[in-house]
Copies of this chain bind each other. A is one copy, B any other.
Amino acid sequence: MSEVLTKGKLAKAASFHMIGKTTAEKNDALEKIASQLIRDKVELIKENAKDLELGKQKGLSTSILDRILLDENRIEAMADAIRLLIELKDPIGEQLELIEKDNGLRIEKKRVPIGVIGMIYEARPNVTIDAATLSIKTGNAVILRGSSSAKWSNIALVSSIQKALALTTLPIESVQLIEDTSHETANELFHLNQYLDVLIPRGGKGLIDKVVQESTVPVLETGAGNCHVFVDASADYDMAERIILNGKTQRPSVCNATESLLLQKDWFSTYGEQLLIALQQKGIDIIGDQNVCAVNSNAKLATADDWAEEYLALTLSVKLVEDVIEAVEHINTYGTNHSEVIVTENKEHAAIFLQGVDAAAVYHNASTRFTDGFEFGYGAEIGISTQKLHARGPMGLQALTSTKYTITGEGQIRE
């Protein structure tokens, strides 16, 4: 049997053993994992060094090497994050509905674990810890399939986790790593419907699209973000500039960064030149439509592809629109259903925008950067869902749960 099949089967069995584990048992396991990571610090850093060395040989960029890096601070941060997770409310067992029927049947709908979660991700060893600990907190078993560039780090991290689990009432196989990082193992996971209840991709658009397009296991799509700011006719200049700069520059490489700017044409006549210069002074490259390029010689002319682009860099596409209706239509055509903003003093226009834009999070007078599980107060984040089923927007612990009806009677039959 292949590694994926073997571990899939073990994960399914482990998921049954996870059912009914108490909050105390799960938190105890999390605490033991946190301590184990600290205890294994030297070993983890040693194994991580192999990945960094191999990465340098392969010529990985400094920013990717930085993502892979584990040092004392980062390992301590992992342990701290686990201790915060311990404090969070356990969603399992929560009663969602109670229906008492005339025939005496008592129908209860409760939150239960999903079962087995598959996680496919890129070169970030911290996702290994995140995914493992969030799965444990929600009573799930997890199969991790990371990137080859973090292979030795991931093996070491999962070894620490399993050492800790061995000291608990939880099955060791509730957290397993697929060590073979070839394409074949990803493909096997895409079709492991027998053992996997859900597959979650974490990484760039290429990875996510591949999983969505190929997986027959249900996918929780944590998506790319081509996030727009629409500046309406009545927008306050200072507020608009502040929101755009924050969305574009605070952390350009993340999915909730602002990628595209729509400016109402009359507002543009008054403030356009000033705004473009302010953005360029902060190092932002402007890719504009003809109107934009006409007033700003440093702007590059946009192609049709630019309206759909997620730059993940200090680049911003800028386009003029007639009004809020055109802005909504443009966003619904080119957007990725992530985070969209209107800056306006006009409440009617705000209402049209908030209702009409088809996205997980739609803002009136605030930055796209707020779409985040921690900012929303969920205390944890699995990712930001841009699909419409199961979970949409920042996903906290609840997104890793399912529901179950339990019905008690005294011999009732259906007439």
A residues touching B (Cβ–Cβ < 8 Å)?
16, 19-20, 99, 101, 105, 107, 109, 114-115, 193, 197-198, 212-216, 218-220, 236, 238-239, 242-243, 245-247, 250, 332, 350, 354-356, 358-367, 369-371, 375-377, 387-390, 392-393, 402-414
Contact = CB atoms under 8 A, between A and B. Distances in A.
Given A392-B404, A405-B393, A115 B358 contact: yes
Given A218-B218, A362-B406, A377-B99, A243 B389 contact: no
Contacts of A362: 404-407
A389 B114 contact: yes
- Number of copies of this chain in the oligomer? 2
Nearest to A329: B16
A297 B16 CA distance: 37
A304 to B, nearest CB: 16
A392 to B, nearest CB: 5
B114 A409 contact: no
Given A363-B409, A366-B411, 10 more contacts: A101-B377, A107-B376, A114-B389, A247-B413, A361-B404, A361-B406, A362-B404, A369-B414, A370-B412, A376-B405
Contact of A242 (B355, B408, B411): B411
A198 B115 contact: no
Contacts of A402: 388-389, 392
A366 B412 contact: yes
A203 to B, nearest CB: 18
A404 B370 contact: no
B216 A213 contact: yes
Nearest to A220: B389
A19 B215 CA distance: 30
A254 to B, nearest CB: 11
Given A16-B332, A193-B212, A356-B20, A115 B388 contact: yes
A243 B406 contact: no
